[in-house]
């Protein structure tokens, strides 16, 4: 077992990222050590760098998306949700949310475990100054705490291909489960970043009839076509009215049954209400950061007789289904192509800046390369 | 059978209401003639007077809410949805929406019949200059067209007591069906007008645990208590923060599982998003008129992991269930007290003005008194 | 317009089929005349021949499944559910159930229109001795009554390919809608006749993970593989325990999430309860004829914490979705191969006997060949 | 803290119950000691005495239903699901199922935690020969293991009144949640034992329209009327046809929307299929013991277009809601009257025999009296 691990650290909001060395702590029963192959650079990580999330402890080792190899296991067997043992050498990802308590009102009574107040997220809420320190993915090694759900990646899926897991595919899985998607549905998806692309794949896998991807970047829309978009709309080249009318033209005049929002842009939300058909469903999963208010028309919402569902966080089942979905459909979609930029650990600062400029679809850091 | 009927007519938007006399047309097969006991004065009627709804034909006989007695039946038996014959002398109400086609995409495929483009509404969309003319409730007699669903009112329910039918109770029924209301739910209801009061009654009948009524009129809140409100909040006497905190205080810190909106005030909608608990349901049925946009925060919507359902119009089943609900629970709620003001047909202008000033809870016009 | 039409008639139960000539009646407003290309021979038709259904009027022109060409339209335009006009020469199918009233308790209140007591079925409940006589598909021409829903078949779909419509695909659509099928589901389907094959196609289109087809005929199981079965089980070659264990082996030990029954064999039902996983869903659509009781264990049903859904009849939306599904996925599945036997009208007797011996998957009669 | 506890022990199947004395073990962190006020005698306990359940360890201290007082708490605070501390002296019940893992496929993926293979049930699956021994309710004291959910009983609810908790009310809560019960529903309930009575109360609380209780004991049916039955049917005095017809007579000809089964008698299940209306829901929760097969007609099931739901076990949320429901509706229902027989610990044998003869509705043992 290695003795030390290099990790990227955000010392405080907006300060340059530093690479620091940490001692690897002894593994307690139920714990494991993960050798990180790829750590995903999520838009949230850029927000963390700028200190935009409340309650985050600095200095912080960021990174909640990770795939890699089990380097060591503590003095107790650990098992996946199917009851199979996790072994040293297994290629795995983890559910980045841990300590969901299944004892509180949200977990047991409201059945909304993503609102459990006890949960902790690797690379976001856990304090690198305290034991076991190595709890962010921008690191050679991550200490996988007891109770964290570990999910094996099948051999035929590369680490890059599994990179769509991270938080994009589980978020998309959760979002689809909250919507009435079924075969024959007409779907529009706002945003062709990682979450939007995974929503595209899921819409196609579920037999959607038309799937329109909406984004402002033509390189993303090209990737969207590879992920099953039957149509694309560039918001730099079309007006809202044109998008609205186009969606009716391809759907017998009705408009999309379901619109998924995966943009991070608050203005997308009133547009989504416009785009969805009467009696349809609008599902919002991309408003993870507070970017203020927008103007919305309650009469329009009411008149259209809508279901509007919002989706927060992910449960272990969504990560489990995400991995299965990628594995089962690996030949059908170019999952590896989502990873457009790769960085070394020493390039973490550059990785964050690239992500901030929206140049990448998904950037990853490979701390052991 | 009578030969003529006096009816109130709005000659054109904002013009004074006139009383005109119409010939009663011969009844076609499937038609009936209703002698109106009470015509409800709905907020929509005030909007019609001011010309705020698009596509309404003037001169208009307003009135879509009506209870009365079957005066005559055309040369064909008519039946209620249970298959029982409707007879002369029966005390009845009607589903004010007729001609729902059950042949179009909305009716058959989308299963959203309240969005059927073929439907017509008594007193709103039907043209009094064309045969059969008498198709608004502000009239001594209404020509009940073939295919209109007629629903008998049990003997123990007075016409005033049935006045809560009209569009308030069916709207409330439809709204509750679109929400996960069940026993033990903590509920808040924005607005204590007729729809809000009927939502209160339904919340109580369904075994809700706490039911908080929110309004700006203390006389309405007093009536709300009689309709089952366990708590009331006057928005003139409390701040949003106080309302938010009060609702948490009475619900173990969580907030209401369901918030119903029945106000007609666009500002209620962002407030509802604030009030509902995380993972809860916000159901909007009161935004029937376009009163412009309001500021909403998409991040707050998303973070709270909500279901937001909007409710448009009513189906025959909602009117059927409305009548049954009032009849089954007639001793439990003071349905007659909802009718706070009664007018003669000649006082129609005054009735509309009273409604406009929010002095009444429910005003009715009794054209045959 | 043709003057007469030859049609096959079952004079009385178990009597030999006769070919008789009928005058083609004048088309009333809303009616159309269909020139039949293919009439499907359904298992129900064999039961009709043997007089096993109650309330059927003899002499009977059988045939409720039909595709063909619009030969003539009465003195009124007719439209499809999307509002588009149906024209002479259009290639179409019809919803074989007509006169669903959308006025009764089942249609409007219970929202179970397939239980509407007013509905009539072509070739089953309608009396050929009464006007308009030509209301069964085993005929050169069928009188399409006003109100019957007519659905166009896209040009790229052949009449044989559309033959899977009939009642198989609509039944399968209705059945899938009554089940929680979604991507990644493990599915088992009892029966590989037309309904079972269409369920296979729908399971595949919806992204099911494993799909096991169970039948006793190896030629049907071979076709099942072409329709998406990932595994097949021949009940002549395996024991119930072997089928049970095999389904667990391929599903991580759990068993199928959903089992669909499409056999017509009462013994399939207790087996389905055995096969489905704990907490799973068993959906039954194949028990259309009364073949008596079977032994079932209520404790087993209870202990497994199941949803058991049964599915009766089809609505227009299911036929509409059936045609769309076949058209949208025409290149993916060999729909034409379902039609294994074709007969002339004069061979109707032989067609029924072939169907009775289970030699065909789907036999069709082509009355105009 | 007391040193020892007397407890009733079933030495082996069918052997006479013995009273033995056990040392009370030291409380580990998270554990508590419950001083039992009432232990419910459940029908399952009689089956345990006769050795009818597989995998039960003997000698056994039976009893999974218990209310009492917290005598002591181990060296760590324990909290209820609302996050409030449990204190010495609190009057409480517990969720008798513990160790639900929330880590396995059933808990996390299938979301069917009552099928979790890791769960243990007080008084049924836990071995009294092993530490901490005192894990059945027929005992002066019960060792409440860490992780067991403890629920406080409000002051206005007596221990006898809370006796309806135990497993009857949680089972009824779970069953109702699995059914589409809402205001106005017509309901029939097979069985008027504790579970049937609690289903009656829940049907009434949720605003059901007609509620018919069916049993063979007139003393139970009398109690059923106090719990909200609008009608009763004694199966000793009526034929199946009479029950079927009566239920149609009181429901406008349709039959009950929902039939709940809570009998423990396998023959009730085919009868329930007969009684429920077409398109209705049949919910089965009383078939906890294997009593063999019965004859059922799959065609009847299919033709009626049913939802049949079975319900196994209960989750913490059902116990939580059970206590709330009893507390919120304590004045409306005679919960204390469900306890018809009370026994001392030394009378355990007699208590089981009384229960076996169906003389009691609910018998309880008060070990500290």
Q: Which of C291, C301, C310 sits opposite D305 (nearest CB)?
A: C310
Neighbours of B38 (CB within 10 A): 29
Start-end of CATH 3.90.180.10 domains in chain C: 4-167+314-365
**Beta carbons within 8 Å of B249's beta carbon, 6+ residues apart:** none
Give the chains touching A; criterion: ≥3 Cβ pairs < 8 Å.
B, C, D
Asked if D33 contacts D72 with a C-beta cutoff of 8 angstroms, the reply is: yes
User: Across the strands, what pairs with A234?
Assistant: A215
Helical segments of chain A, H only: 43-49, 168-177, 194-205, 218-226, 240-249, 268-275, 298-303, 316-328, 348-356
Task: Find the mean pLDDT for residues D32-45.
Answer: 96
Residues of D in contact with A317 (CB under 8 A): 108-109, 111
Is B105 close to C81, i.e. CB distance below 8 A? yes
Of B108, B111, B321, the CB nearest to C81: B108
Choose from B104, B105, B108, B173 for mutation: most chain C CBs within 10 A.
B108
The average confidence (pLDDT) of chain B is: 96
CA atoms within 13 A on the CB side of B156: 8
Contact indicator for B34, B141 with CB cutoff of 8 Å: yes
**Residues of chain B neighbouring D325 (CB-CB closer than 8 A):** 183-184
The predicted complex's ipTM stands at 0.96
Cα(C76)–Cα(D285) distance, integer angstroms: 55
Which spans in D206-309 are helix H?
218-226, 240-249, 268-275, 298-303
Strands (E), B129-285: 141-144, 150-152, 186-190, 210-215, 231-234, 258-261, 281-284
Q: Which residues contact A168 (CB under 8 A, 6 or more apart)?
A: A40, A193, A194, A195, A197, A198, A338, A362
Tokens of B218: 């203390």
**Contact C288/D299, CB-based, under 8 Å?**
yes
H/E stretch holding C221: helix C218-226
**Residue of chain A nearest C323, judged by CA positions:** A184
Position C100 scores a pLDDT of 95
Provide mean pLDDT across the span B92-113. 96
**Rounded alpha-carbon distances, angstroms, from residue A273 to A279, B284, C328:** 11, 14, 28
Chain region(s) in chain C for CATH 3.40.50.720 = 169-310
Cis ω for the linkage preceding A13 (within 30 of 0)? no
Output the pLDDT for position B342.
96
Cα A26 to Cα A1: distance, rounded to the nearest angstrom: 10
Give me A312's structure tokens: 């927060």
- pLDDT for C119-129, tens place per residue? 999 999 999 99
Residues A117 and B278 sit within 8 Å (Cβ to Cβ)? no
* Option in C269, C309, C312 nearest D298 (CB): C269
Interface test with B, best of C30, C81, C115 (most B CBs within 10 A): C81
Q: Are A184 and C253 an interchain contact pair (Cβ–Cβ within 8 Å)? A: no
Q: What angle do CA A101, A9, A139 make, to 5 degrees?
A: 70
CATH class belonging to C169-310? alpha beta
**What is the structure's pLDDT at C212?**
98
Contact list, C111 vs chain B (CB under 8 Å): 317
Please give the average per-residue pLDDT across C299-303, as a whole number. Answer: 98
Residue B61 has pLDDT above 90, yes or no: yes
Buried b vs exposed e over A4-22: b needs ≥16 C-beta within 10 Å?
Answer: ebbbbbbeeeeeebeebeb
Q: Chain C closest CA to D359's CA: distance in Å?
A: 24
Query: What are D264-316's pLDDT values in tens digits?
Result: 999 999 999 999 999 999 999 999 989 899 999 999 999 999 999 999 999 99
* DSSP secondary structure, D59-98, as one string: SB-----EEEEEEEE-SS--B-TTSPBP-TT-EEEE-SEE
C212 forms beta bridges with: C188, C231
Q: Cα–Cα distance between A22 and A132 in angstroms, integer? A: 10
Quote the Cα angle for B327-B333-B339, to 5°: 90
Does the beta-carbon distance from A184 to C324 stay under 8 Å? Answer: yes
Q: From the CA of A60, how many Å to the nearest CA of chain D?
A: 29
Q: pLDDT value at position B94? A: 96
Q: What pLDDT shows up at residue C164?
A: 75
B107 → chain C, closest CA residue? C81
Q: What would you report as the CA-atom Rg of chain B, rounded to the nearest whole angstrom?
A: 20
DSSP labels, D113-179: GGG-TT-EETTTTS-TTSTT---SSSBSEEEE-TT--EEEPPTTS-HHHHTTTTTHHHHHHHHHHTT
Question: What digits encode the pLDDT tens for the residues D146-162?
Answer: 999 999 999 999 999 99
Q: What are D111-148's pLDDT values in tens digits?
A: 999 999 999 999 999 999 999 999 999 999 999 999 99
Cα nearest neighbour of B290 on chain A:
A299
The strand pair at C32-41 and D231-234 is best described as unpaired
Q: Which of C80, C82, C102 to probe the B interface (max B CBs under 10 A)? A: C102
pLDDT at B137: 98
> Which chain D residue is nearest to residue A113, measuring alpha carbons?
D108
Summarize pLDDT for B191-211 with one digit per residue, the tens: 999 999 999 999 999 999 999
pLDDT tens digits for range A186-227: 999 999 999 999 999 999 999 999 999 999 999 999 999 999
Name the pLDDT band for C291 (thresholds 50, 70, 90): confident
Collect all residues with Cβ–Cβ distance below 8 Å to C26 and sequence separation of at least 6: none
Chain C residue numbers with beta carbons less than 8 Å from the beta carbon of A208 are none
Taking an 8 Å cut-off on Cβ atoms, the answer to whether A105 and B254 are in contact is yes
Is there a contact between B298 and A294 if contact means CB atoms under 8 Å apart?
yes
Best mutation target, D183, D200, D205, D257, to test chain B (most B CBs within 10 A) = D183
Q: Do A105 and D82 touch (CB under 8 A)?
A: yes
Name chain B's partners: 3 or more CB pairs within 8 A.
A, C, D
Query: Would you place residue B175 in the very low, low, confident or very high pLDDT band (cuts 50, 70, 90)?
Result: very high
Average pLDDT of span D6-20: 97
Does the beta carbon of A82 lie under 8 angstroms from any beta carbon of chain C? Answer: yes
pLDDT tens digits along A11-25: 999 999 999 999 999
Shortest distance between the Cα of A141 and any Cα of chain B, in A, equals 31
Give the SS3 label for residue B219.
helix
Query: Which residue in B has a C-alpha nearest to residue A302's C-alpha?
Result: B310
What digits encode the pLDDT tens for the residues C37-85? 999 999 999 999 999 988 899 999 999 999 999 999 999 999 999 999 9
Q: How much is the pLDDT for B19?
A: 98
CB atoms within 10 A of CB C88: 12
Size of interface A-C (CB pairs under 8 A): 39
Nearest by CB to C205, from A207, A253, A325: name it: A207
Q: Closest residue of C to D278, CA-based?
A: C115
Binary contact (A278, B304; C-beta < 8 A):
no
Average pLDDT score over chain D: 96
Tokens of A292: 């203020």
Q: Which chains touch D (3 or more CB pairs under 8 A)?
A: A, B, C
Assign D170 a pLDDT band (cuts: 50, 70, 90).
very high
Q: What is the pLDDT of residue D128?
A: 94
Answer whether residue B188 shows pLDDT above 80: yes
Does residue A275 sit in helix, strand or coil?
helix
- Averaged pLDDT for residues C145-165: 94
Q: Cβ B324–D209 below 8 Å, yes or no?
A: yes
Count Cα atoms within 13 angstroms, Cβ side, for C197: 27
B265 part of contact set with chain D, CB < 8 Å: no
> What pLDDT, on the 0 to 100 scale, is given for residue B165?
77
Q: Which fold has domain B4-167+314-365?
A: Quinone Oxidoreductase; Chain A, domain 1 (3.90.180)
> Does residue B295 sit at the A interface (CB-CB below 8 Å)?
yes
Residue pair A329/A202 in contact by the 8 Å Cβ criterion = no
Which of D82, D183, D325 is the closest to B184 by Cβ? D325
pLDDT surpasses 90 at C3: yes
What element of type H or E holds B121?
strand B120-121
CA–CA distance, D335 with B95 (Å, rounded to integer): 42
Least confident of B160-174, B223-237, C131-145, C178-192: B160-174
Check A313 against B290: CB less than 8 A apart.
no
Which whole-number Å values give the CA distances from B343 to A219, B61, C78, C271, in the listed order? 67, 16, 47, 68
Residues in chain C: 369
Go through A102-136 and write b for each residue having 16 or more CB atoms within 10 A of its CB, e for each that does not: bbbbbbbbbebbbbbeebbbbbbbbebeeebbbbb
Whether C183 sits inside 8 A of A325 (CB atoms) is yes
Percent of chain A scoring above 90 in pLDDT:
96
Place C1 in a pLDDT band, splitting at 50, 70 and 90: confident
State the smallest CA–CA distance between residue B324 and chain D in angstroms: 8
Chain C residues close to A82, C-beta within 8 Å: 252-253
Q: What average pLDDT does the segment B361-368 reach?
A: 96
**A78: nearest CA partner in chain D:** D103
Tell whether B16 is within 8 A of chain A (Cβ).
Answer: no
* Per-position pLDDT tens, chain A of length 369: 899 999 999 999 999 999 999 999 999 999 999 999 999 999 999 999 999 988 899 999 999 999 999 999 999 999 999 999 999 999 999 999 999 999 999 999 999 999 999 999 999 999 999 999 999 999 999 999 999 999 999 999 999 999 877 899 999 999 999 999 999 999 999 999 999 999 999 999 999 999 999 999 999 999 999 999 999 999 999 999 999 999 999 999 999 999 999 999 999 999 999 999 999 999 999 999 898 999 999 999 999 999 999 999 999 999 999 999 999 999 999 999 999 999 999 999 999 999 999 889 999 999 999
């Amino acid at each position: 077992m290695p003795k030390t691990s290099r990790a990227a650290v955000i010392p405080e909001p907006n300060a340059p990222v530093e690479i620091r060395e940490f001692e690897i702590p002894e593994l307690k029963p139920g714990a494991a050590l993960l050798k990180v192959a790829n750590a995903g650079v999520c838009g949230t990580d850029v927000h963390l760098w700028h200190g935009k999330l409340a309650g985050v402890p600095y200095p912080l080792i960021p990174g909640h998306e990770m795939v890699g190899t089990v380097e060591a296991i503590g003095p107790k067997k650990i098992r996946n949700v199917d009851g199979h043992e996790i072994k040293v050498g297994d290629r795995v990802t983890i559910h980045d949310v841990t300590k969901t308590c299944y004892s509180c009102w949200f977990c047991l009574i409201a059945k909304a475990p993503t609102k459990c107040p006890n949960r902790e997220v690797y690379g976001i809420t856990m304090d690198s100054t305290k034991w076991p320190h190595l709890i962010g993915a921008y690191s050679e090694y991550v200490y996988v705490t007891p109770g964290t759900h570990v999910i094996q990646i099948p051999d035929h899926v590369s680490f890059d291909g599994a990179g769509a897991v991270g938080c994009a595919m589980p978020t998309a899985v959760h979002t689809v489960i909250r919507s009435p998607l079924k075969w024959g549905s007409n779907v529009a998806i706002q945003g062709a970043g990682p979450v939007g692309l995974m929503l595209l794949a899921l819409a196609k896998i579920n037999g959607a009839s038309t799937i329109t991807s909406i984004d402002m970047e033509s390189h993303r829309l090209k990737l969207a076509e590879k992920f099953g978009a039957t149509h694309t709309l560039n918001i730099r080249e079309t007006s809202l009215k044109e998008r609205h009318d186009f969606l009716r033209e391809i759907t017998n005049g009705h408009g999309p049954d379901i619109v998924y929002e995966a943009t991070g842009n608050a203005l997308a939300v009133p547009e989504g209400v416009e785009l969805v058909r009467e009696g349809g469903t609008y599902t919002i999963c991309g408003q993870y950061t507070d970017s203020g208010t927008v103007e919305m028309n309650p009469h329009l919402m009411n008149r259209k007789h809508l279901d509007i569902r919002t989706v927060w966080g992910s449960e272990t089942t969504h990560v489990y289904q995400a991995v299965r979905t990628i594995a089962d459909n690996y030949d059908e979609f170019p999952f590896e192509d989502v990873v457009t930029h790769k960085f070394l650990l020493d390039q973490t600062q550059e990785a964050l800046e690239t992500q901030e400029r929206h140049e990448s679809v998904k950037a990853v850091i490979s701390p052991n390369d």
